[in-house]
Amino acid sequence: MPIIKTEDLTYIYSQGTPFEKAAVDHVNLEIEAGEFVGVIGHTGSGKSTLIQHLNGLLEPTSGKVYIDGQDLWADKSKIRQFRFRVGLVFQYPEYQLFEDTVAKDIAFGPRNMGLSEAEIQDRVRMAAQFVDLPEEILEKSPFELSGGQKRRVAIAGVIAMDPEVLILDEPTAGLDPRGRDRILGQLKEYHRHRGNTVLLVSHSMEDVAKYATKVLVMNRSHLFLYDETHRVFKHAEELSRMGLAVPQLSRVFTALAEQGFAVNPNTYTMQYALNEIEDLLEGRGYHA
C-alpha cells in the first residue's frame, strides 16, 4: 500500500471570485513508503499547495488524500493526528522559533502530541542528534544561534514528532555551500537510518539529482511526472522549457553526446560522470 496517495486532488484558490485559480488540478499520485522524493517545479507550479495537502493544512476542494490508506478528511476532528504522521518543514523554518531554549522549541511538536515528559526528552535528544546539534546548545536561546544552526533547530522540531513522512520545502534556501551540504547530508543519513519517506522540495537540480531516488515534477498545477530520477532527467528539454534548470553536468554530457561521443547524455552526478569518461577512455563507450 502506498504511504501517500491522492485521487483527483484539486484545490481552487479564491473560489467564487474573479481571482479563482486551480492551484492543484486533478493530481493522482502514489508514493511508496521509504522513497526519497525530490519535488521540483517553478514558483507557482502548485508544488507548495500540493505538499500542504499531504498533512491536512489545506483541505482539497475536491478529491481525496490518503496517508497509509486512511482518508485524511474522513473525520475532520482527527486531522491533527495526520500532522504528526506527516511532518512538514516550511521554507525559512527558523522564523517559527519562539521558545526561550532550543530544547523547549524542539519539544513543542512532541508536547502537542501529548507524549510523556520522559518520551519528550528522548525525542528531543534523538532529533538534535540527527541534525548534529551539540548538547550544550540545547539550553541556549534559539535566537543566539547562527543562521544555519537555527535552521537545523527548526528541522529538529519536526523530526522530533517522528513522522512517517518528512516533507521539507527548500530546507537549504539562503545557506552557504557548507551549510547546504551539511543539512542535505544529515537528511540523507536520517532517511537511511529511519527508513521512512522523505520529500525534498528544491530548486537545485544538482541536489535533487544527488539525493533523490524518485522525482516529482509539478507544472502549471498538474502533475507532470513522477518517476525514477534518471528517467525524469531524460526529459531535459521539457524541463528547461518549464523554466527548470537541468544539472550543469547533464548539459556538458548532452554536448559531448551531440558531438558523437559514446557517452550517456543523461549524466548528472559527479561519480557517474567520472565513470562515463573513464569507460570511454578504456574503450567501453556508452551504448543507448
Residues forming contacts to another protein in the complex (CB under 8 A) are: 13-14, 42-43, 52, 55, 57, 80, 83-84, 87-90, 93, 95-98, 108-109, 112-113, 143, 146-148, 157-158, 161, 173-179, 203, 206, 243-245, 247-249, 251-253, 255-257, 259-262, 270, 273-274, 277-278, 280-281, 285
Q: How many CB atoms lie within 10 A of CB 92?
A: 15
Distance CA 220, CA 248 (A): 24
Q: Which is nearer to another protein, 188 or 251 (CB)?
A: 251
Q: Which is nearer to another protein, 138 or 158 (CB)?
A: 158
Cβ at position 171, least distance to another protein in Å: 13
Q: Which is nearer to another protein, 60 or 109 (CB)?
A: 109
Q: At what angle do helices 102-112 and 147-159 cross, to 10 degrees?
A: 20
Q: Which is nearer to another protein, 64 or 111 (CB)?
A: 111
Question: What's the CA angle centered on 196, arms 35 and 189, to 5 degrees?
Answer: 90
Contact 12, 21 (CB under 8 A): yes
Q: How many residues are recorded in the chain?
A: 288
Q: Which is nearer to another protein, 28 or 78 (CB)?
A: 78
Coil, strand or helix: which one is 11?
strand
Run of H or E including 162? none
Q: Which is nearer to another protein, 28 or 274 (CB)?
A: 274
Return the HEC string of 204-245: CHHHHHHHCCEEEEEECCEEEEEEEHHHHHHHHHHHHHCCCC
- Give the distance, in angstroms, between the CA of residue 2 and the centroid of all CA atoms in the same chain: 17
Cβ at position 134, least distance to another protein in Å: 17
Distance CA 232, CA 1 (A): 23
